Amino acid sequence: MKDVSTKPARRLRCAIYTRKSSEEGLEQEFNSLHAQREACEAFIASQKSEGWALVRDQYDDGGISGGTLERPALQQLLADIEDGLVDVVVVYKIDRLSRSLMDFSKLVEVFDRNGVTFVSVTQSFNTTTSMGRLTLNILLSFAQFEREVTAERIRDKVKASRMKGIWMGGNIPLGYDVRDRKLVVNAEEANTVVDIFTRFIEVGSATVLARELRSERLRSKKGTLIDKGYLYRLLNNRVYRGEAVHKGTAYPGEHDAIIDARLWDQVHDILGESPRKRANNSRTQTPALLKGLLFTATGAAMTPSSTKKGTRRYRYYVSMDLLKNRETPDDGIPRRLPADTAEGAVITEIRRVLRTPETTAQVIAKLDRDDIPEADAIAALQQFPELWAQLFPGEQARIIQLLVRRVTVTAEGLVIDLRTDGIAGVMRDLMTPRQLEAAE
C-alpha cells in the first residue's frame, strides 16, 4: 500500500486590527487593545494547520471612533493590503473595524479586490461565501442601529436638560464662570459684556466696534483678542438673557441674566437690519462737520439737510431764512451750499494754518510742557492729512468743533475763524497711542 503524502497548506499572512473609541484606560499595562490582540492571536494559532501565520506589523487605533475611516492604523493596513502583504484580516468583533454599514461596504470592496478574507473571532463567518456576507450585513446593521440609538439617547438627554435650563458644558461665555457644573455671573466680566452691548447701540457697526475693542486689547474668555466674528456670537448669545438654547429654541435657564430685555431688543433691532443698510445708516447719521458753526453774513444759521436721487444722497447746508420762507435781500449770499464744498474749504484752511511757522512754534511750545519731543510735534503737524483721513467721521466732527469758532457765508466766499489756541490740544490727542490705534 502506497503512502499518500499530505500537501502542505498555503501560507496565509494574517494581520490583526484592534480599535478602542476612547483613550480611557489606554495607559494601563493591559488594556482593551491588548485583550483584543490576545484573543485574535489565539485564534490564528488555532488555524496554524491551515497555514495561518501572524505578520509582524501591528495595526492598533487607540482613542479613535469607528464612525470614520480616517484612522492611521487602518489606513496603513489598507495600504499593506493594496501592496499584497496581507491575506487575512482578523478582528475581535466586526464593529472594531467599522460601525458604519456604508464604510464597511467600502472596506469589503478593498478586501475582495485583493483576495483578502475578513474574519471576526467572536462572530463566526467567512466573507468569501454568500452566507458569510449575509451574516456580516445583518451584524453590521445591528451595530449601526445600536450606535444610532445611543446617539438618539444622548440627544434626548441634552434636549431634556436644556429644557430645564441646565448648563450642558461647552465654551464658557465671557461674563460667567462655572461652579458645581452651573453658570455663575463674573461681576467684572459682566460689566464688560454690558458695555459691549451698550457701545454697539451707539456705534451701530460690528466692524467699527470690533476695531475699537481690539485697539483697547479687550480679550475673550480664552484670552484671544476680540474680532468681528466673536463679537457677533457674543451679541447673539441668548445665555446673556438667562436662557438655555437647544436647536434654536430658548428655554428659561438656571443661571442669572446679564443683559436685560430692553438692551437686548435695542441691539437686535439694529442686527435685524442688513449690513448694507446699517452701513448706510451710519453714514447718514454721521454728524455734519459744520453743524452749529455755519452762518450767513446776515446772521442766519445754516442747518444740515440732504436729498436723495436714485441711490445717491446729496448733502447740503441750508439757511434757516430759506427753510422758514423769510424774505431776504438780493445780496448775492448763497442760501444753500453743497456740504462737501463747505466742509472741504474748512479742512483745507485748517491744513494751511497747521503748516504756518507761527502755528508750528505755538504747538511746539505747548507740547514741550507735556514732555512731548519737538520732533514728534513737527512730524504730527506734517502728517495731519493722513491722520485726518484715518479718523472716524464722529471724531472728525469733534475736532472741527474744537478748531473752528465760526464760518460765515458771504457773497465773496467763506470767512473761516479758527481757534488757534486749540490746535495743540488736538495734536496731543492725535499723538496718543490709543487714538492712533483706534484710527487704524
What backbone phi and psi angles, to 5 degrees, belong to 414?
-100, 140
Cell of 304: 444740515
Q: Are 435 and 383 in contact, with CB atoms under 8 Å apart?
A: no
Identify the active-site residue in 5, 21, 46, 305.
46
Residue 344 CA to residue 337 CA, distance in Å, equals 12
Q: Are 403 and 417 in contact, with CB atoms under 8 Å apart?
A: no
Establish whether 49 is a catalytic residue: no
Residue 397 CA to residue 288 CA, distance in Å, equals 7
- Residue located via cell numbers 483745507: 348
Query: 60 by DSSP, 3-state: which?
Result: strand
> Beta 312-319 vs 336-338: how paired, if at all?
antiparallel
- Residue located via cell numbers 428659561: 252
- Residue located via cell numbers 459684556: 193
Residue 213 CA to residue 347 CA, distance in Å, equals 29
What backbone phi and psi angles, to 5 degrees, belong to 144?
-70, -40
What backbone phi and psi angles, to 5 degrees, belong to 352?
-65, -45
Furthest C-alpha separation in the chain:
145
Of the candidates 264, 218, 224, which has an alpha carbon nearest to the alpha carbon of residue 240?
Answer: 264
Query: 16 by DSSP, 3-state: which?
Result: strand
Of the candidates 293, 282, 286, 285, which has an alpha carbon nearest to the alpha carbon of residue 400?
Answer: 293
Q: Are 140 and 101 in contact, with CB atoms under 8 Å apart?
A: yes
Contacts for 49-52 with beta carbons within 8 Å, 24 or more apart?
49/9, 50/9, 50/12, 51/8, 51/9, 51/10, 51/11, 51/12, 52/12, 52/14, 52/88
Catalytic residues: 46
